Amino acid sequence: MPHPLRLFPPEPGLREVAFDLYRHVSQLPLISPHGHVDAQVLAKDEPYPDPIALLVRPDHYVLRLLHAQGIDMTELGLLDKRTAATGPAATRPVASGSAVPGSAARVAEPREVWRVLCRYWSVFRGTVMRLWLEDELASLFGIDYPLSEGRADESYDQISAQLTTPEMRPRELYRRFGLEVLATTDSPLDDLSAHRALRDDPTWQGTVVPTFRPDALIDPARTSSWAQLLDRLAQISGSDTGTYRGYISALEARRAAFKELGATATDHGNDTVDAFELSEWEAARLYDRLRLGPYDAGDQGAFRAHMLMEMARMSADDGLVMQLHPGVWRDHDTAAFTRFGHDTGADFPVATNYTAALVRLLGRFGSHPTFRAVAFTVDETTFSRELAPMASYYPGLWLGAPWWFLDAPDTMNRFWAAITETAGFSKSAGFVDDTRAYCSIPARHDLARRAHCSFLARLVGEHRLNHEDALALAGDFAYRLPKLAFRLA
């Protein structure tokens, strides 16, 4: 059972202050302005089929740490795309832990996957994943004992039985979690039918908004079928993408469609945040070369940098908050990507430059009255060296939460210490859960609230804050700032 005082300072006086702060914010509604839960989950409101579909398969944190123990992804329930295409070979079993990369292997059944998780439960000791999972297991399923291989079937059956109840349907979980707003992440090529279905459903009482994620359309290096994606963009937008001007109009039309369904933000996961502006004539020529060929080395990067500036220009025009998520080498394990596709945990941080990369973008839009960008990083050194100093000057630049590899208690404390002495607390965008694992949302927010209250308690103990200010800042972090930063009010 998770300890009620977890993450609070061990010193009794500070622990009492942290707990008092936490008590005031623990029941505030959850604002989830950036995440990857599919809106179809809530639109369809179907029961989860098994514990793996709920707790393991969508959580690449869990997949990554289990794979690090030498466990093949097929043993974690993932389908090998090459095996699936070969037919009968897909049924050939492999011994636990012995699959050869690239070999045909059957996909493990959910109960088998759960047994693997329980067998390797000890490898999660001391990790943030263990804190999240223990919270989920206790609060949702009443499992107040450590997972173990000996009790694997017992815990699996306990979870499975509860998944059949109305209380575990996605819409009821939304209510139980205390969610006020849930933002999804969506391609401009998505018809947003799930969002429309929720908007038009008189029985639905929540707020689920789309987020505009145009990476594949503005970065030709992302795919070998960029021209085909442009054709699809033309179909869904009604704008001819055969010309650069038509392409820009198509993106603007899709942004308007997203806004109509409640979107308040865009999301950009480019490798870098390099941004500069070409003339329309230069951009049109570059667009035609990339679309029709041949093009020169560097053309793709130049177009991506120009289009990031164009996205900033559109955000200044329509008010959508621009989220920047650079600095991740995605699908680093190319063999795993070939077998299983995206989101298996093989994405890793790389060093990121913000100050030089954003000089033109912020020079043009950083003080624009309607422009706002929320900058995230997984390069921890940029907190104090680049992002906080820039956010302490540019009105339009806000600081995203510790993200991805950095959303653990100690790193979050380093983040707050790094940014608040320069930029203060007011330019922080609060917390984002950034998860595909729906049931981990409340656990992630609770952990962040506890860690933040612990950080504030230390400042109170050092007489750098009084108790009233700390209470206000705890509420800001948990509720007010994410609504303000992402214009969700």
Boundaries of every domain in the chain: 25-37+172-485, 50-165
What are the C-alpha distances in Å from 33 to residues 260, 263, 427, 474, 484?
Answer: 17, 10, 16, 18, 11
Give the side-chain half-sphere CA count within 13 A for 399: 29
Amino acid letter, 197: A
- The model's pLDDT over 414-457, given as tens digits with 9 standing for 90+, comes to 999 999 999 999 999 999 999 999 999 999 999 999 999 999 99
- The model's pLDDT over 267-313, given as tens digits with 9 standing for 90+, comes to 999 989 999 999 999 999 999 999 999 999 899 999 999 999 999 99
Please give the Cα distance from 74 to 290 (Å, whole number).
38
Please give the Cα distance from 343 to 333 (Å, whole number).
11
Q: Which CATH number fits domain 50-165: 1.10.645.10, 3.40.50.1820, 3.40.1010.10, 1.10.2020.10?
A: 1.10.2020.10
Please give the Cα distance from 421 to 464 (Å, whole number).
11
Sign of CA dihedral 389, 392, 394, 398: positive
Q: Which of 66-70, 83-87, 369-373 has the lowest mean pLDDT?
A: 83-87
For the entire predicted model, the pTM comes to: 0.93
What's the rounded mean pLDDT across residues 76-93? 64
> Which CATH code for domain 25-37+172-485?
3.20.20.140
- Which residue, 358, 363, 371, 269, is CA-closest to 317? 371
294 preceded by a cis bond (ω within 30 of 0): yes
What's the rounded mean pLDDT across residues 212-241? 96
Q: Which pLDDT does position 85 carry in this prediction?
A: 57
